[in-house]
């Protein structure tokens, strides 16, 4: 039973390029969460999605960031026109249900913006 999968594990982009981060939840999980982690800090919530729906995007920056979780395929976190401050580890988690349920994390994507 595979866990949460994320790819790529490492992503290097130049300023102004686009970054696409992918997350496949655990089998049977339909709730996906994205978190960002800066060095030496805890994880900061970004967005919570169910299939085809954004449930809570209160942690997403208003510009350049978007997320989706289509009916088929992985969840995608998209960052347009990346800046150096976007460099961080981005973690995806999934859960079976959304309310008060354990979230299982993927290995993360480490984004470096040159």
Partner 1 sequence: GESVGLHLPTLSVQEGDNSIINCAYSNSASDYFIWYKQESGKGPQFIIDIRSNMDKRQGQRVTVLLNKTVKHLSLQIAATQPGDSAVYFCAEKANTNAGKSTFGDGTTLTVKP
SS (H, E, C) 5-35: EEECCEEEECCCCCEEEEEECCCCCCEEEEE
| 90: phi then psi, degrees, rounded to nearest 5 | -115, 120
Nearest residue (CB) to partner 1, 15 versus 44: 44
Q: How far is the CB of 1 from partner 1 (least distance, A)?
A: 15
Nearest residue (CB) to partner 1, 55 versus 83: 55
Residue with tokens 């994205």: 34
CA distance 53 to 44: 20
Q: Which chain residues interact with partner 1 by CB under 8 A?
A: 4, 6, 31, 33, 35, 40-45, 48, 55-56, 58-59, 91, 95, 98-100, 102-108
Q: Which two tokens stand for residue 36?
A: 């960002």
Q: How far is the CB of 81 from partner 1 (least distance, A)?
A: 26
Q: Which two tokens stand for residue 56?
A: 């809570």
Nearest residue (CB) to partner 1, 17 versus 110: 110
Q: How far is the CB of 113 from partner 1 (least distance, A)?
A: 19
């Amino acid at each position: 039973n595979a866990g949460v999968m994320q790819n790529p594990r490492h992503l290097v982009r130049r300023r102004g390029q686009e970054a696409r981060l992918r997350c496949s939840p655990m089998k049977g999980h339909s709730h996906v969460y994205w978190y960002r982690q800066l060095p030496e800090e805890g994880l900061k919530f970004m967005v919570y999605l169910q299939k085809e729906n954004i449930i809570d995007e209160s942690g997403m920056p208003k510009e350049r960031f978007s997320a989706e979780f289509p009916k088929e395929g992985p969840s995608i976190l998209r960052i347009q026109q990346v800046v150096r401050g976007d460099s961080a580890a981005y973690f995806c988690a999934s859960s079976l249900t959304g309310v008060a349920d354990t979230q299982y994390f993927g290995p993360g994507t480490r984004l470096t913006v040159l």
